[in-house]
Chain A
C-alpha cells in the first residue's frame, strides 16, 4: 500500500516536472518550429506543424553572414571565461582560506557592482574604448565581459572552495608544496566540478550578453547578439527569418549545455547537502 502511494506520488511529481519544463521550454521550441515555416505560415497564427522549409535559413545566410559573428561569439565566450578564471581562482582561494575581518565586505562590495544598471557606465566606458582603440575589437570585449561576470565567478568559486577542508591544503604545505603547487595541484583538481560549472555558466552568460556586445561593436567584433538584433524589423513581417536567426544563434550554446548537463547540475548543487 505504502509502496503504491509512493509510486503514485512519484508519477505525479514526474508529470508536474515535465509540465513545468515544457512550459519553460515552449518559447524556444516554438521559435525553432517557426524557423521552419514560410513567412505567411509564421504570421497565420498558432500552428505546431511547420512546412519544414529551409527558405528562412537560406535568406538569413544571404542577408547576413553567420560565420563571422559565430566565431566572434566563440572567442568572446571562451576568452572572457578563461581570463575570468585566471583572476578568480587566486582571489577565491585567498578569501576562502585566508579570510580576514574585511573578507565579507569585499565580497559584498564585488557583488554590489552588479547592482548598478550597465547603462549607467556606458559613456565612460565608451570613451575609454574610443581613446584606447579598443572599440569594436575582440580584445576590448573579452575584457569587458570578463569584468562583468567576475563578481559572479568569484562568488561561485568562493562557495565551492569553502567546502574543501583547509587541512588538506595544510597537509600539502607540510609536504613542501609552494603556493603555486597548492593551487594548481591540490586545490584545483579537488574543485573541478565547481570550476567546471562556473566555467559553463560563465560561457553561457558571455554568449547571451546583449548590451555591451551591441554597444561596443560595429562590424569587426560583433557577435551573435548583434546578429539577432539585425533581424528585428519595425516595418515588415520577418518572423520566420527572425526565428531562424535566433535558432542559429542559440543552437551552439544549447547543444553545449545538453552535453555538459551532468557537470552543470553537479556543480550547481555541489555542497548543497550541507
Chain B
C-alpha cells in the first residue's frame, strides 16, 4: 500500500468516525460524603455543558464501604466505576498492582502547580496515578481566648512539653473545658493516624529495616505514655470513642482548648455558621519532641483516580482533569467564596491574596503540608513510605488491631506497657504470616 492510499484510507475512516452519531457516555463516579465532594456534585454544570456527550452518575458511600466496594470491583475487573475517590494510602499500593490507569494531564492543567508533597504521594516512579481533589496535613488548632486567659503562650512550632503546659493551664473540668482533644476511636485511619504521627514526632518508627515491629522501643513507649497522660488528665471524658467528627463537635461547642488533627478541620472550626468559637481559633504546627526534628509527617489527599477496568478512560481523564483544575477552584470561589475552595492541593491557591484573606488558616496549612515527608516519615531508617500510616496492604488490618489495643489503654482497660506488648506480639505475628519477616 502506498503512503497516499494509506492516507486516503485513514482520512476516510476518520470521516466515518466523525459521521457516527454522538453516543452519550456515562461516567460512574464513586465518592465519599465529605463537604467538598458534595459541593463538586452540585457544581458540575460547566463540565457537562462543555462535554454534552458525557453524563455523570454519582455513587456516594461511607468511606469504608467505598473502599471495600471498589476493591472488590477492581480485583474482579468489574468495570463498575470510571472515577474513584481514594486517598494517599491506596494510590501507591493500587498503582503497583496495576489497578489504576496512569494520568496524562494536558499542559494547561499545570502539574507543577500541585503541592510537591501531595504530588509525590500520588505518584509511583514519577508517574501520577491520581489527581488530588483536596489535601490535608495535621496541625494544632487552639482557642486564642483560653490561651490568653490562662496566661500561657502558644509558639508557632510548639513541642509536646508546650502542649502539655498549655493543656494543663486551660483545663477547667467544672466548666466542661478540656485542655486537649485527640482522637481515641480505634481504627487505622482514626486513632492510629494521630498516634502514628505522634510517634513519628517522638522519633519512633513502625518497623526497622528488617520489618521487625518496634513497639518495644523507648520512643513508642514515650509517645504512648505521654498521649495517655495528656488525655487522662486534660482530655474529655469518653475520649476512647472520639474520632474526627466527635472532636470537631466538641471543639465547635467550645469544649476543647486544643485539638490536634487534620488541617481540613480549620475550615469547619472557623466557620461562623457552625462554630461557636469561630473568631478565636489560632493555629500552630504539629508538635515535636524536644530534640527530634519531625512534625509527624501527616499527609492525606482525597484524590480522583481511574481504575484500569474503566470502559471509558478518556472521558474519565477529562473529568478528573476538570475537577482538580485551577478553573474548578476559581468557579467554586466565584459561586461560594474563597473559603469554600478545596484546600491543600495547589501552590497557586496559597499565593492568591483573596484566599489568604478569606482563610486565616491558609499559611499554617501550607506550612504543615510542605513540611510533611511521606517518603521518610521517621528520623530513623525505615523500609516503608507513608506519613500517618504505613503504605502496605496489610496496614488496614494491623493498624486497626493496634488501634483497638491503644484505645483500650485510653479507656483504662490496660496499661501502656501491656498495650505496647500486645501490639508488638500481634504485629510480629501478622507480619510473619504475611511473609515480611523471614
Tell me, yes or no, whether B61 is within 8 Å of chain A by CB.
yes
Contact A231 B76 (CB under 8 A): no
Cα separation A109 to B61 with both chains bound (whole Å): 35
User: Chain B interface: which of A39-47, A166-174, A258-266?
Assistant: A39-47
Tell me, yes or no, whether B69 is within 8 Å of chain A by CB.
yes
CB within 8 A of A229: which of B35, B41, B62, B189? Answer: B62
Tell me, yes or no, whether A218 is within 8 Å of chain B by CB.
yes
Kindly list chain B residues whose C-beta atoms are within 8 Å of the C-beta of A230: 33, 59-62
Q: Which of B28, B76, B248, B268 has the most CB of A within 10 A?
A: B76
> What string of 1s and 0s marks CB contacts (under 8 Å) between A202-237 and chain B?
000000000000110011001000100111111111
Contact B262 A237 (CB under 8 A): no
Contact B61 A233 (CB under 8 A): no
Contact A135 B78 (CB under 8 A): yes
Contact A235 B78 (CB under 8 A): no
Contact B61 A214 (CB under 8 A): yes
> What string of 1s and 0s marks CB contacts (under 8 Å) between B57-70 and chain A?
11111110100110
Contact B35 A43 (CB under 8 A): no
Cα separation A216 to B81 with both chains bound (whole Å): 12
Identify which of residues 235-283 in chain B touch chain A, using a CB-to-CB cut-off of 8 Å. Answer: 244-245, 248-249, 252-253, 262, 264-265, 268, 273-274
CB within 8 A of B245: which of A64, A229, A233? Answer: A233
List the A residue with the shortest CB-CB distance to B75.
A123
Contact B76 A63 (CB under 8 A): no
Contact A126 B274 (CB under 8 A): no
Question: What total of A-B pairs shows CB separation below 8 Å?
Answer: 92
Q: Which of A222, A226, A235 has the most CB of B within 10 A?
A: A235
Contact A229 B252 (CB under 8 A): no
Cα separation A135 to B42 with both chains bound (whole Å): 27
Contact A218 B80 (CB under 8 A): yes
> What string of 1s and 0s marks CB contacts (under 8 Å) between A23-65 and chain B?
0000000000000000110011100000000000000001110
CB within 8 A of B59: which of A39, A45, A215, A219? Answer: A219
> What string of 1s and 0s marks CB contacts (under 8 Å) between A167-193 and chain B?
000000000000000000000000000
Kindly list chain A residues whose C-beta atoms are within 8 Å of the C-beta of B80: 135-136, 218
Cα separation A234 to B268 with both chains bound (whole Å): 13
Contact B76 A234 (CB under 8 A): no
Cα separation A125 to B239 with both chains bound (whole Å): 40
Cα separation A238 to B60 with both chains bound (whole Å): 14
Cα separation A219 to B80 with both chains bound (whole Å): 10
Tell me, yes or no, whether B166 is within 8 Å of chain A by CB.
no
Q: Give the distance to chain B from A103, nearest Cβ to Cβ, in Å.
A: 38
Contact B72 A218 (CB under 8 A): no
Contact A123 B72 (CB under 8 A): yes
With contacts A39-B274, A136-B80, A236-B268 taken as known, whether A229 is within 8 angstroms of B65 at the C-beta atoms is: yes
Cα separation A109 to B249 with both chains bound (whole Å): 49
Contact B245 A236 (CB under 8 A): yes
Cα separation A7 to B35 with both chains bound (whole Å): 57
Cα separation A62 to B43 with both chains bound (whole Å): 13
Cα separation A231 to B264 with both chains bound (whole Å): 19
List the A residue with the shortest CB-CB distance to B276.
A40
Cα separation A218 to B34 with both chains bound (whole Å): 19
Tell me, yes or no, whether B138 is within 8 Å of chain A by CB.
no
With contacts A126-B76, A130-B78, A218-B81 taken as known, whether A237 is within 8 angstroms of B61 at the C-beta atoms is: no
Cα separation A214 to B244 with both chains bound (whole Å): 25
How many chain B residues touch A (Cβ–Cβ < 8 Å)? 38
Identify which of residues 181-223 in chain B touch chain A, using a CB-to-CB cut-off of 8 Å. Answer: 189
Tell me, yes or no, whether A16 is within 8 Å of chain B by CB.
no
Q: Give the distance to chain A from B170, nearest Cβ to Cβ, in Å.
A: 21
CB within 8 A of A237: which of B28, B69, B249? Answer: B249
Tell me, yes or no, whether A127 is within 8 Å of chain B by CB.
yes
Tell me, yes or no, whether B32 is within 8 Å of chain A by CB.
yes
With contacts A40-B274, A126-B78, A136-B80 taken as known, whether A235 is within 8 angstroms of B244 at the C-beta atoms is: yes
Cα separation A219 to B69 with both chains bound (whole Å): 13
Cα separation A130 to B273 with both chains bound (whole Å): 46
With contacts A122-B72, A126-B76 taken as known, whether A43 is within 8 angstroms of B249 at the C-beta atoms is: yes
Q: Give the distance to chain A from B277, nearest Cβ to Cβ, in Å.
A: 13
Cα separation A173 to B30 with both chains bound (whole Å): 59
Contact B41 A127 (CB under 8 A): no
Kindly list chain B residues whose C-beta atoms are within 8 Å of the C-beta of A136: 80
Cα separation A130 to B35 with both chains bound (whole Å): 33
CB within 8 A of A44: which of B58, B61, B253? Answer: B253
Contact A43 B252 (CB under 8 A): yes
Cα separation A111 to B401 with both chains bound (whole Å): 32
CB within 8 A of B65: which of A40, A127, A214, A231? Answer: A214
Contact B253 A214 (CB under 8 A): no
List the A residue with the shortest CB-CB distance to B264.
A235
- Given A215-B68, A236-B268, A237-B274, 4 extra CB contacts under 8 A: A215-B69, A231-B60, A232-B33, A233-B33
Q: B-side interface residues toward A, CB under 8 Å?
A: 28, 30, 32-35, 38, 41-42, 57-63, 65, 68-69, 72, 75-76, 78, 80-81, 189, 244-245, 248-249, 252-253, 262, 264-265, 268, 273-274
Q: A-side interface residues toward B, CB under 8 Å?
A: 39-40, 43-45, 62-64, 122-123, 126-127, 130, 135-136, 214-215, 218-219, 222, 226, 229-238
A-B contact pairs, 10 of them (CB 8 A): A40-B273, A123-B76, A130-B78, A215-B68, A218-B28, A231-B60, A233-B33, A234-B33, A234-B244, A237-B268
